[in-house]
């Protein structure tokens, strides 16, 4: 379920109140659409697979490989199908060896565990802790899952390069900002850190199809 326009307006107003540097990008953008319709039909397993594919890639490259990957599976992006398909077929779609292993091991884990992350009472920390136990699943992958699949509004993905570049542009910084230096600066945006991050991405990617 997506978030209401009223809630997104409230988030934007909060961000403007605590950091006026966001004024230009917020005024020139539509409301944040975390929880957008595009991803409502993607199940949790598929969403994590998509995040793994997107690791350290541009949006365009990730979209291309995701399309090839889906084609290699004849449209069936399920744990059972992935367990049965040859590694070579996944590599031929453009996946690295490491990502192939990660997705294969995820498929196995989903087969033996009854994963269900839809309970809103599960904390962000609990979900991060559970999923990062899987080989090749790091914090960034789970943060993307929390934001764009579970629609959590208070995630601050400082490990994301494009988000940091957006922060630098919004604040007219001449030097690169390190993730550890950005961690504490996100505190003022609580409970809407995901929305602030979304505007950082938007100033870099504009009207990306990813939104």
pLDDT (tens digit per residue) in 43-60:
899 999 998 998 888 878
Residue 44's H or E segment, with its range, is: helix 44-54
Q: What residues contact 79, with CB distance under 8 A and at least 6 apart?
A: 45, 106, 107, 108, 110, 111
41's tokens = 């039909």
What's the pLDDT score for residue 14? 98
pLDDT digit string, tens, across residues 115-135:
888 888 999 999 999 999 999
What's the pLDDT score for residue 209? 53
Lowest mean pLDDT among 33-37, 75-79, 111-115: 33-37
pLDDT digit string, tens, across residues 130-164:
999 999 999 999 999 999 889 999 999 999 999 99
Percentage of the chain with pLDDT > 90?
Answer: 76
Instruction: Judge if pTM exceeds 0.85.
Output: yes
* Active site residue ranges: 160
Average pLDDT, the chain: 91
Domains with residue ranges and CATH for the chain: 5-34+153-205 (1.10.1670.40), 39-148 (1.10.340.30)
What's the pLDDT score for residue 3? 85
- What is the phi-psi region of residue 35: left when phi exceeds 0, alpha when psi lies from -120 to 50, beta otherwise? left
What's the pLDDT score for residue 40? 55
pLDDT digit string, tens, across residues 11-39:
999 999 999 999 999 999 999 988 765 55
What's the pLDDT score for residue 114? 78
Report residue 165 CA to chain centroid gap.
Answer: 16
Q: Which residue has the higher pLDDT, 180 or 56?
A: 180
| pLDDT at residue 1 is higher than 60 | no
Q: Measure the CA dihedral 200/201/205/209, to 10°.
A: -140
What's the pLDDT score for residue 35? 73
Average pLDDT over every residue of 97-113? 94
Average pLDDT over every residue of 163-178? 96
């Amino acid at each position: 379920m997506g978030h209401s326009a009223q809630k997104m307006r409230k988030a934007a107003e909060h961000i403007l109140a605590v950091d006026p540097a966001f004024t230009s990008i917020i005024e020139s953008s539509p409301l944040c659409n975390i929880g957008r319709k595009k991803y409502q039909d993607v199940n949790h397993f598929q969403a994590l697979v998509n995040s793994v594919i997107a690791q350290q890639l541009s949006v365009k490259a990730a979209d291309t490989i995701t399309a090839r990957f889906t084609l290699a599976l004849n449209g069936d992006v399920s744990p059972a199908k992935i367990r049965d398909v040859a590694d070579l077929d996944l590599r031929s779609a453009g996946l690295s060896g490491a990502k192939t292993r990660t997705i294969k091991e995820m498929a196995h884990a989903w087969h033996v565990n009854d994963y269900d992350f839809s309970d809103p009472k599960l904390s962000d920390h609990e979900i991060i802790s559970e999923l990062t136990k899987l080989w090749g699943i790091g914090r960034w992958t789970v943060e993307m899952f929390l934001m764009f699949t579970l629609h959590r509004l208070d995630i601050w993905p400082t490990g994301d390069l494009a988000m940091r570049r957006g922060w630098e542009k919004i604040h007219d910084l001449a030097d690169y900002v390190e993730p550890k230096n950005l961690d504490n600066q996100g505190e003022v945006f609580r409970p809407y850190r995901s929305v602030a991050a979304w505007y950082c991405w938007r100033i870099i990617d504009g009207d990306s199809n990813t939104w």
